[in-house]
Structure 1
Amino acid sequence: MSDMMQGKNKILLFRKLSDQNKEAAKLAFQTEHTFSYSRSLDRIVTKDGTIVKVGELESEVSIEAIQSKTDPVRDMLRQAVLDGEKLELWEVTVDEDLKQGDKYPAVYAQGYLDSWEDAAGAEDESTVSGNFIVELEPQFGMATLTKEQEEAVQYAFRDTTAVTEPEEPEETPVGA
């Protein structure tokens, strides 16, 4: 069963669309998320049989995450729902078997949070949950993670040996 997709390898990253030229997407430490796709199908009964009228694709992402005391992603997402600000979302599958070069399979979407909840149970960590409504259709491709994002995920296997930087080639003096 080692070839099964692991849910823990699918991470979510967010960014305000207005910040796309300023900063990298930010990792949300979600405990669970669901990326759903739906399409309405209307049945039209005719004398010859049923015809199906296909509606537009609708997509959304439901999110559940834990909160740290200083979580800039939580604050950004809460403010985005309060302000009705457009966000970018990536669902990246951080699986070394699926990695191509330095890129991972990903789904990219733009849209809005239509809900946000801060839950504070007496015996559990504080959590947040929200619902991201995708505008238009999600796009599928490959995404690059920054070094900081990869280190935060910590799913990739590392060898037991010390990590060393590759040696720089020695420069040959001019005229030698």
Structure 2
Amino acid sequence: MADNQIKMQEGKNKILLFRLLENQSEEAAKLVFQTEHTFSYSRELERIITKDGSLINVGELESEVSIEAIQAMGDPVGDMLRQSVIKGQKLELWEVTVDEELKTPDNKYPAIYAQGYLDSWEDPANAEENATISSNFTVEMEPQFGEATLTDEQQAAVQYAFQDTTAPTNGE
């Protein structure tokens, strides 16, 4: 991509991966059928009026991620996330931008990493629509920006690769 050419990012290329903090020896996993998420940042600003003019007292950063997905039957990640709310377990969350144009030479993707808790879990079931999941992840401390590696299984969960019409031979 040319340096002077700016392109739009597509929301479908940003996925969420999760893992219980206590299970750091395991790989993070993707919640299937994600439809939307919003990573939000906010600070409380307090205006102090003085005789010389206004001053602003800046509060602490607050971050959260709202999550929407369609329920998948037998999804272990969905089950783990629901249980994390019920049991009050701390989670790790990654927002990974899976875009080949942004991939680094060492096969990493831009990512945001955060630790925190799901503070809610809803399973709405409308008679005329798919059953959905709605949740909110509250970030503890400050999210970190960096790069993440996706395993072959994680990449397969994002999008299957093109396959030829012929049967593969040994070594392919």
Partner of 1:84: 88
CA distance in 2, matches of 1:2, 1:66: 32
- 1:25 and 2:28 equivalent? yes
Q: What RMSD, in angstroms, separates the aligned Cα atoms of the two structures?
A: 2.3
Aligned pairs for 1:1-176 (under 5 A) are 3-21=7-25, 23-29=26-32, 30-100=34-104, 101-154=106-159
Runs (4 or more) in structure 1 with deviation over 2 Å come to 158-162
TM-score by length of 2: 0.89
Provide structure 1 residue ranges, at least 5 long, that are not aligned to the other structure.
Answer: 168-176
CA distance in 2, matches of 1:80, 1:74: 10
For the residue of structure 1 that corresponds to 2:153, the secondary structure is helix
Identity %: 67
CA distance in 2, matches of 1:26, 1:95: 18
Please report how far the alpha carbon of residue 155 of structure 1 lies from its aligned counterpart in structure 2 after TM superposition: 7.5
Please report how far the alpha carbon of residue 160 of structure 1 lies from its aligned counterpart in structure 2 after TM superposition: 6.7
Please report how far the alpha carbon of residue 2 of structure 1 lies from its aligned counterpart in structure 2 after TM superposition: 8.3
For the residue of structure 2 that corresponds to 1:4, the secondary structure is coil
**Equivalent pairs, count:** 164
TM-score by length of 1: 0.87
CA distance in 2, matches of 1:85, 1:34: 21
Provide structure 2 residue ranges, at least 5 long, that are not aligned to the other structure.
Answer: none
| Cα distance, 1:137–1:161 mapped onto 2, change above 3 Å | farther
